[in-house]
C-alpha cells in the first residue's frame, strides 16, 4: 500500500458534528519527467473532515504539505 502512516492529530465534537484532522505519510510515484524536480518519494498530507450525523454528510478537505514549490 502507498500509505505509510496515519495519525489523528485533532478530534472534537462541536454542535453535534465530529471534526477531525489527520496527518498521513504516503509514497508518491514520480513520473520520469518530474524526477529532476522532486528528489523524495514520500509526501505528508493533511486531511480535515466533518461528520454531520443530523445532515447525514461527510465532508473532507485534503491537501499536500510537500511539493508546494513544484505544483
Q: Give residues with Cβ within 8 angstroms of 39, minimum separation 6.
A: none
Instruction: Kindly report the pTM of this predicted structure.
Output: 0.74
CA–centroid distance for 64 within its chain: 6
At 64 the pLDDT is 85
* pLDDT tens-place values along the chain, 71 residues long: 688 899 999 999 999 999 999 999 988 777 777 777 766 678 889 999 999 999 999 999 999 887 655 55
- Locate 24 and state its grid cell: 498521513
Amino acid at each position: 500500500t502507498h500509505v505509510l502512516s496515519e495519525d489523528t492529530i485533532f478530534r472534537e465534537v462541536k454542535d453535534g458534528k465530529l471534526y477531525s484532522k489527520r496527518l498521513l505519510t504516503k509514497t508518491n510515484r514520480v513520473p520520469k519527467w518530474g524526477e529532476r524536480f522532486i528528489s523524495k518519494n514520500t509526501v505528508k498530507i493533511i486531511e480535515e473532515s466533518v461528520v454531520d450525523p443530523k445532515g447525514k454528510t461527510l465532508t473532507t478537505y485534503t491537501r499536500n504539505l510537500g511539493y508546494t514549490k513544484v505544483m
